[in-house]
Structure formats: structure tokens, C-alpha cells
Amino acid sequence: MQQVDDIISNMGLSPSLTLHFLVTLVVGFIILQLIRRSLKSFERRGTSFIDRLKFFEAVKSRAHIRSAKKQKEKALEGYSQRFTIIRRMILIVYVLIWLMTLLTPFLGQISATFISLFAAAVAAVVGIAARPFLENLIAGVVIPFSRQFRVGDTVLLEKDYGTVEDITITHTIIKLWDWKRLIIPNNQMLNREMVSYTTKDSYLWAYVEFWVSYDADILKVEEVALEAAQKSLHFAREGVPRFWIMEMAREGIKCWVAAWTKSPTDSWYIKIDIRTRLIQDFQKRGIKTHSYNIGGEDLRFSGEVAREDVDNTFRKKDDGGDSTNAGNQV
């Protein structure tokens, strides 16, 4: 060991400084390889999820504007480009930190006043001029690793229902169910509450709410509701549909029928199927739905809505009001 120190001293180098450089280089190189391996693993996870998707729509349509294959290729290309930028940013930041660590022994030779002024100037520029951009940039780097949401996830943001079409470095694009695009800065996406339908899996417990009158045979209603769910092509065929009475109000009985679906799109369409079949079967079997009390008269609505009864009731009220006003004028 003494001989090594003597050799280093003869070369005009400090033994402690040389040891610092060697340790920093070796440890830094090992950490660099771990970072690169971790980034590749994250990238593979993201591309495998996108590759498994069959379509990029919250509600599957038959529009031929862009095929599912082209959408998948575009999503994979965008994800690869974004991750390339993120990888380069992380590696650049790491190399800068690595270099700063290597040069630590020489920082004592620089004036503390100069370092303070330089740091204050950089902080002022970043805080005033580049703050919004940096916030979105940092959020764009954090989102892929946090896995809060991914490209291809079906989400609900307040009243906006759609699919995450793309996540750039600065903003996220949500493709709504009607094909409109909602563009949100990444820093806002990190702070917004959302409902995700595909974060862990795509199975959904879809339900339809409806009302029936107290005059209706509840056993027949249950039979019709369960049959409507089972006949739908979008039913997952796992488990059995369920029927519940959720509320007993003055207007009628609130019921739910629920069934498993394999995706948000199936959930959307099974609800349409159930509602359509319920209306048809209610009309065919004469099952009454809501009952309303208008002007002292109890009106009960069946599958065939009693429009004439409602009109006659309001007409009577109007006629009565006109007669009263006429009498007052006389």
C-alpha cells in the first residue's frame, strides 16, 4: 500500500484525491448501469401494456378513420419517443451530479460569494421564467414511473369520459368518447382526481338503475331484468347477473340490475342493451314504472307513456285557472 502511495506521489498526485476519483468513477458507473436497466424495464412494461390493447376508444365504434393497428403503432411510437427523451434527461442529470461529485475536492478553491451569486441567479431565472415549463416537464417524467395512468387507460375526469391517447413531456391528451380531444398540462394531471377503469384490470360491474310502480309484480320484474342482462352479447359470462331493490319511495320502487363485463366498452353497451330490453319487455308485459301525483291525480306510467293523461291533467288545471281568473275579473 505504501508503494502505491509512493508511486502516486511521484506522479504529482494526491493519494486521497486519487482514491476519491477511483471510488466515484466505479460507484458512478455501477449506478449508471442500474439506472439504464431500470429504465429499460419500465419501457418494456409500458410497451407491453399498449401492445395488448385491442383498440384505443372508450366506446368502440365502427369508424374507419384510423384502424386499431395504426392507433397502436402511433401509440407505441409516441411512447418510445417520450421515453427516449426521459431517458436522456435522467442520464444527463445523473452525469452532471456525477461530475459535481468528482469535482467536490476542488470546490473549496472557489469563492463562496461567487457560488452564492451564481446559485441565486439560476434560482431566479428558473423560478420566474421557466417555472410552468419545468413543472410540466417534471410531471411528464414522474407520470410514467408513478403509473397513476397509462396510454390506453380508460378514465373519467369529472364528467369527461375517454381514453388516454398520449402522454407527452408537457401535456396529456384524453380522447373522449365522442372523439374530441381533451388536452391537460401534466402538472394538473398529477393533481386531479380521476376514476380509472383499467388500472389493475378491465373487468367492470356494470349496473342499470330503473323504477317500477308498486302495482308491478316484483318477481316478474326481477325475471325480466336478469334475462335482459344474460341475453346481452357484452355480458362476460362470469358469475350471474344480480337484481336488487335499492329504495322504496313514494313514486315507486328503485331497482338495480348488475352484470360483469370484460371492458369499459362492454360496460357501455351492456347498459344500452339492458335498457332497450327492459323497455320492450315492460311494454309487452304491461309492467308499470313511475307514478306521479300531478294536480291531485295519481298518474302511473307504463311502457306506453300516458301522454294524453298528462296533457289532459294540465289542460284541466289551465282551464280551471282561466275560469277562476275570469270570475275574478267579473
Q: Which domain holds residue 236?
A: 204-291
Is the residue at 243 inside a domain?
yes
Among candidate residues 129, 146, 163, the one where a domain is terminated: 146
Is residue 78 over pLDDT 50? yes
Residue 209 shares a structural domain with residue 133: no
How far is residue 239's CA from residue 126's CA, in Å, rounded to a whole number? Answer: 57
The 3-class secondary structure across the chain, one letter per residue, is: CHHHHHHHHHCCCCHHHHHHHHHHHHHHHHHHHHHHHHHHHHHHHHHHHHHHCCCCCCCCCCCCCCCHHHHHHHHHHHHHHHHHHHHHHHHHHHHHHHHHHHCHHHHCCCCHHHHHHHHHHHHHHHHHCCHHHHHHHHHHHHHHHHCCCCCCCEEEECCEEEEEEEECCCEEEEEECCCCEEEEEHHHHHHCCCEECCCCCCCEEEEEEEEECCCCCHHHHHHHHHHHHHCCCCCCCCCCCEEEEEEECCCCEEEEEEEEECCHHHHHHHHHHHHHHHHHHHHHHCCCCCEEEECCEEEECCCCCCHHHHHHHHHHHHHHHHHHHHHHHC
Mean pLDDT computed over 84-90: 77
Instruction: Report the pLDDT value the prediction gives residue 251, as an integer from 0 to 100.
Output: 83
Phi and psi (nearest 5°) for 291?
Answer: -130, 135
Q: What is the mean pLDDT of residues 243-257?
A: 92
Which whole-number Å values give the CA distances from 319 to 299, 307, 328, in the listed order?
19, 18, 14
Residues 6 and 142 in one domain: yes
Q: What average pLDDT does this structure show over 152-168?
A: 88
Q: Which residue has the higher pLDDT, 250 or 269?
A: 269
Kindly state whether residues 8 and 92 are assigned to the same domain: yes
How far is it, in rounded angstroms, from Cα 255 to Cα 192? 33
Side chain identity at residue 140, one-letter code: G
Query: Is the residue at 307 inside a domain?
Result: no
> Would the pLDDT of 243 be above 90?
yes
Contact 24, 102 (CB under 8 A): yes
Q: Give the mean model confidence (pLDDT) for residues 233-258.
A: 91
Model confidence over 172-201: pLDDT tens digits? Answer: 999 998 889 999 998 888 888 899 888 888
- Residue that terminates a domain, selected from 101, 118, 146: 146
* Whether residue 141 is found in the same domain as residue 212: no
Segment 1-28 shows an average pLDDT of 64
pLDDT at 141 over 90: no
Residue 109: pLDDT over 50: yes
In a domain? residue 234: yes
Q: Both 21 and 98 in a single domain? A: yes
Q: Which residue has the higher pLDDT, 161 or 87?
A: 161
Is 17 in the same domain as 116?
Answer: yes
Residue 238's pLDDT is 78
Distance CA 156, CA 128 (A): 34
247: in domain: yes
Considering the domain architecture, whether residues 222 and 116 belong to the same structural domain is answered as no
pLDDT over 80 (residue 158): yes
C-alpha grid cell for residue 22? 477511483
Task: Check residue 305 and give its pLDDT.
Answer: 42
Residues 125 and 6 in one domain: yes
Which CATH number goes with the domain that contains 234?
Answer: 3.30.70.100
Q: Which residues contact 189 (CB under 8 A, 6 or more apart)?
A: 139, 143, 148, 149, 172
Number of domains the chain contains: 2
Q: Is 89 a domain residue? A: yes
Looking at per-residue confidence, does 57 or 89 come out higher? 89
Q: Amino acid letter at 244?
A: W
Residue 256: pLDDT band with limits 50, 70, 90: very high
If asked whether residues 105 and 214 sit together in one domain, one would say no
From 156, 141, 247, 241, select the one nearest 198 (Cα to Cα): 156
What digits encode the pLDDT tens for the residues 38-76? 878 877 777 777 777 666 666 666 555 556 667 777 777
Q: What are the tens digits of pLDDT across the range 266-308?
A: 999 999 999 999 999 999 998 888 655 444 444 554 444 444 4
| Band of residue 242 on the pLDDT scale cut at 50, 70, 90 | very high
| pLDDT the model gives residue 302 | 45
Q: Is residue 327 part of a domain?
A: no
Closest to 135 in 3D by CA, of 146, 144, 126:
126
Q: Which of 113, 146, 179 is the last residue of a domain?
A: 146
118 & 211 share domain = no
Stretch among 158-167, 217-226, 276-285, 317-326 having the lowest mean pLDDT: 317-326
Phi, psi of 328 (to 5 degrees): -65, -35
Q: Is residue 330 part of a domain?
A: no
Same domain, yes or no: 21 and 127: yes
**Does 241 lie in the same domain as 126?**
no
pTM of the model: 0.60
Distance CA 298, CA 247 (A): 20
Q: Note whether residue 176 is domain-resident.
A: no
Read off the pLDDT band of 208 (50, 70, 90).
very high
For 235-247, what is the mean pLDDT? Answer: 91
Query: Which candidate, 24, 31, 39, places its Cα nearest to that of 100?
Result: 24
